[in-house]
């Protein structure tokens, strides 16, 4: 192999690996969380009051994801959180479309759940259990549509 062949092969490998970070248009088989998501209130449910609207924007940054102001790494380790009422979040990948999460305050779990992206990449579901700021247990399933 000559130097040009090696460089071309390396570039193609890098582009192939990076394609997964570009979003659902990059590979239909494995949609990513990257993009803007709007809460589908009629499809969602919660034991706590449901917001009338919500929008989340995710961006992939190297091996981490940024959600509207917070940067979290899916590596199973505590990461600082900007969410109110918690100081760290742990994201653990389950498969290409599923991530489990645990939020903590002073090292104690506040709420946890899973985030699942649909196979077609158009819907995201967040299923959460925990304790609300008033100290009462809650459960919710929030459904978001990609926009």
Total residues belonging to the chain: 147
pLDDT of residue 71: 54
Check if CATH label 3.90.1660.10 holds for domain 3-146.
Answer: no
Residue 7 belongs to what H/E stretch?
helix 3-18
**For residue range 82-111, what is the model confidence (pLDDT) as tens digits?**
677 889 999 999 999 999 999 999 999 999
pLDDT tens column, 5-45: 333 333 333 333 333 433 434 445 578 899 999 999 999 99
Instruction: Reduce the DSSP state of residue 33 to 3 states and report it.
Output: coil
User: Comparing C-alpha atoms, which of 5, 31, 21, 12 is closest to residue 116?
Assistant: 31
Q: Note if the pTM is more than 0.85.
A: no
């Amino acid at each position: 192999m000559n130097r040009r062949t090696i460089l071309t092969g390396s570039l193609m490998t890098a582009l192939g690996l990076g394609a997964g970070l570009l979003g659902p248009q990059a590979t239909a088989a494995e949609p990513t969380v990257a993009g803007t998501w709007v809460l589908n209130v009629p499809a969602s449910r919660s034991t706590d009051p449901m917001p009338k609207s919500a929008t989340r924007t995710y961006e992939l940054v190297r091996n981490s994801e940024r959600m509207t102001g917070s940067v979290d790494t899916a590596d199973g380790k505590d990461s600082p959180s900007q969410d109110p009422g918690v100081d760290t979040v742990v994201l653990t990948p389950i498969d290409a479309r599923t991530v489990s999460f645990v939020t903590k305050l002073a090292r104690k779990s506040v709420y946890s759940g899973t985030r699942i992206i649909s196979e077609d990449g158009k819907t995201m579901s967040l299923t959460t259990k925990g304790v609300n700021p008033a100290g009462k247990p809650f459960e919710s399933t929030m459904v978001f549509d990609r926009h």
